[in-house]
Amino acid sequence: MKLTHLVLMLILSIAIQAQSNLVKIEPINFSKVNVTDAFWKPKMDLVATKTLAACIYQTEQNTGRIRNFEKAARNKGETHEGIFFDDSDVYKAIEAMAYAIKTSKDKNLEAKADEWIDKIAAAQLQDGYLNTYYTLTGLDKRWSDMSMHEDYCGGHMIEAAVAYYDATGKRKFLDVVIKWANYFDSVFGPGKRDWVTGHQELELALVKLYRVTQDKKYLNLAEWLLSERGKKLAVGYTWSDWKDTLYTQDKEPVKQQTQITGHAVRAMYLYTGAADVAAHTGDADYLKAMRTVWEDVVYRNMYITGGIGSAGTNEGFSKDYDLPNEQAYCETCASVGMVFWNQRMNSLTGNAEYMDVLERSLYNGALDGLSLSGDKFFYGNPLASNGRHKRSEWFGTACCPSNIARLIASIGNYIYGYKDGKIFINLFIGSQTTINLQKGDMQITMNTGYPWNGNVQCTLNMKKKLSAPIAFRLPGWATGIAAPGGLYDFTNPIDEKPILLLNGIAIPYTIQDGYVVAQNEWKDKDVIEYKLPMTIKKVSARTELKFNNDRVALQRGPIVYCIEGADNDGKAWNVISPSTISFSTEEFNILNEKVVSLVAELPSIQIANNGFTANTVMQKVRAIPYYTWCNRGSNPMQVWIPTTFKEVKVNY
C-alpha cells in the first residue's frame, strides 16, 4: 500500500472519529414517527387543513406569488408582483405540505404541491438559476446585492425539495434544487466569486442536500459560506438596506463570535447552519462559539416565553436585559429558529438543557404565532397588551404563517433521538416509532397527557429481549430551575424527584446531562411509566430586567401563563399577585381548546360608578396558557403580574 494512500486513510479515520465524538444524539426523522398526541395531533390536522388552505389561498389568489413563477416560465417581459423575497413563502408552504402529506396521506394536498412544483420547475433557467424577482426585473442585476435574498430563497427551496422527496419519494423538485445548487457552486466558492449570505438560510439547507445526495460539495459549500463571514469583503457587492454588519452577524468570523447581535431570525438560521456543518466536519470551534453565543441569548436576552428579538427596529436584539413586555417584538419566525438551533445544540452535546429551551420556545413563543382556528397569525408576540393587538389573516411580509406551519407539521422531528445504542425521549408527545438497535428492532409507543399532566407511559414491543439505556429528559422546571443561567428563578423552588416505574414497580435510574437514564434488559410488552411533578410555579426575573421588577409570571410544566381581559371582566392590568396567595388549577375551554387554567382570588382595583373613587376588592382571576391569548378578540393581556399596586393600571 502506498504511503499517500495510508495518509489519506488516516486523515479520513481522524475526520470520522472527530464527527462521531461531536455528535451525541441523532434525532429520529419525522417520517419514522407517527404522532398520535392529544395536544399536538389536532394542531397538525389543523395545519394540514385550515393553515395550509390559508397559505394556498394567499399564494394563489390574493397575492402574486404563484403568478410570478408562471410569468417567469412564459418569459414575455411581464411585471413581478409583490416583494423580492416572496418566492421563499411558496417554498416554506410546500415544505409544510410535505410533512402534512406524510402524516395525513392527503392526495389533494399532494396534487396541489405537484402543481406548484411543476410551475417552479418551468421557471428555472437553463443554467439552473431560479429566482422570479430577477428573472422578471433583470438578470443582469442578479448576485449584485447581498441583501436581496436570492440565496435565502434558494435555501428554502432546497429545504422544501428535501422534505418533499423524503415524504413522497418524488425526485422532480429535488432535481430542480440540485441543478440550482450546482449552478451556485459553479459561480461561488474558493477560487471563484466571494459571497456573504445577506439572510442566512442557505448554509443549513446545503447540509440537508448533502445528507440526501451524499455529494460532499454541498457540505463544503456550506462550510465555505460560513467562513466568508466577518472578512469585510470588498468585492463590489452592496447592502441596499443595511450597512451595519452586526445586523447580519457579519462583523466577526463565526468562530470568533461571542455575542448575539442583529436580526434574530438571521442569527438563528446562521447558528443552526454552523451546528449542522460542525456535526459533519467535527469542527469543535463552531461548537465553542455557538455555546458562548447561546449563553448570551439564554442568560441575558430571552423572554420567559422563549421568544427572542425584543426590538422592532431591527427585528432583533438590542442590548443585554432589554426585554420590554408591551413593546416586545418576539417574531414568530425567531422562536421557530430557536427550536431549530436548540435541537442541533442538543444533538452536538447530548445535554438536555437545550431541549428545555426548545420546549419553552415551542409551547409558548412559537405556538402563540398560530390562532386556535388555524387561519390567523401573529407576526410579533408581545408579553403584554393594552387591548389593541389582534391576529391577522396574512401579512405583507408573510414569512411567519408558513414557518409556523412547517414547524408544527414536522413536530415528529423533535421527539426521539438515538446514538450508540442509547435511546432518548426528548419531548413528551404521544407517538410511535421503531428504533433499530444492533441486535433487533424496538418499537416504542408513547402515551401522555402532556403538557396538562406529567404522566408519560411508554410501551415497548420487540421480538426478543433487548438491552439498551433509555434516557428520559428531566426538564429543568421539574428540578427547580426556571431557566439556564438564572435569568429567571422560581419564587417557590422545589426539587421534586421524577418517578420511574417498570410494569408498576420502581426501578433505579441515574441522571446524566439532564436525562433520567434507565439501563435494563427490556422485553416485549414492557411498560415504562415516567412521572413528572406538575406544580404551579411563580417566576421572578433578575433585577436587571427592569420591566419585570416587582412582578411575577406563572408557569406550570412547560406552559407559561397570562391573564387576559376576556376572562377577567375585560381587564388584565388592575390586579396584583401577592406572594401569600396561591393559584390552583381548573379545567377550562377556550373556544375549541381544552386547557388547564390557573385561578386565584387576587386583590383588584375597581373604579366606582362616579369615575373617581377606587376600591380594592378580592376578585377571582383566571390565568390561561399564553399561546391561547387573543383568540376571542382584542383585549388586554399580561404575562408578568404586579406584586404591588404601584404597577397597576386601571385604565387598561
The more confident residue out of 241 and 99 is 99
What is each CA distance from 123 to 2, 62, 132, 428, 632, in whole angstroms?
A: 50, 21, 8, 43, 43
pLDDT computed for residue 612 by the predictor: 58
Q: Exposure pattern of 160-186 as b/e (b: 16+ CB <10 Å)?
A: bbbbbbbbbebeebbebbbbbbebbbe
CA-closest candidate to residue 530, choices 548, 513, 511: 511
> Does residue 652 have a pLDDT over 80?
no
Instruction: Please identify, in words, the CATH class of the domain defined by 417-473+497-531.
Output: mainly beta
Q: What pLDDT, on the 0 to 100 scale, is given for residue 243?
A: 56
pLDDT tens-digit readout, 456-483: 999 999 999 999 999 999 999 999 999 9
**CATH 1.50.10.10 residue spans of the chain:** 24-72+82-231+245-414
Better-scored residue on pLDDT, 55 or 649: 55
User: What's the rounded Cα separation, in Å, for the pair 275 and 286?
Assistant: 7
pLDDT band at 9 (very low <50, low <70, confident <90, very high): very low
Q: Which of 53-57, 161-165, 549-553, 647-651 has the lowest mean pLDDT?
A: 647-651
- Per-residue pLDDT, 615: 79
Stretch(es) of the chain classified as CATH 2.60.420.10? 417-473+497-531
Compute the distance between CA of residue 572 and CA of residue 562 in angstroms, rounded to an integer.
9
For residue 20, pLDDT over 50 is answered with no
Which pLDDT does position 131 carry in this prediction?
98
pLDDT in tens, 530-587: 999 999 999 999 999 999 999 999 999 999 999 999 999 999 999 999 999 999 999 9
Count of beta carbons in the 10 Å neighbourhood of residue 111: 11
Using 50, 70 and 90 to split pLDDT, how confident is the model at 605?
A: confident
pLDDT, one tens digit per residue, over 187-226 is: 999 999 999 999 999 999 999 999 999 999 999 999 999 9
Provide the pLDDT for residue 7: 38
Region 24-72+82-231+245-414: CATH code: 1.50.10.10
pLDDT of 10:
40
pLDDT at 400 over 70: yes
d(CA 645, CA 179): 64
* pLDDT, average across residues 321-327: 96
d(CA 255, CA 274): 9
pLDDT (0 to 100) of residue 233: 64
Peptide linkage before 493 cis (omega within 30 of 0): no
Mean of pLDDT values over 420-447:
97
Rg of the chain's alpha carbons, rounded to an integer? Answer: 25
Task: Tell me what pLDDT residue 4 has.
Answer: 42
pLDDT at 16 over 60: no
For residue 452, is pLDDT > 60?
Answer: yes
Of 28, 179, 170, 163, residue with least CA distance to 93: 163
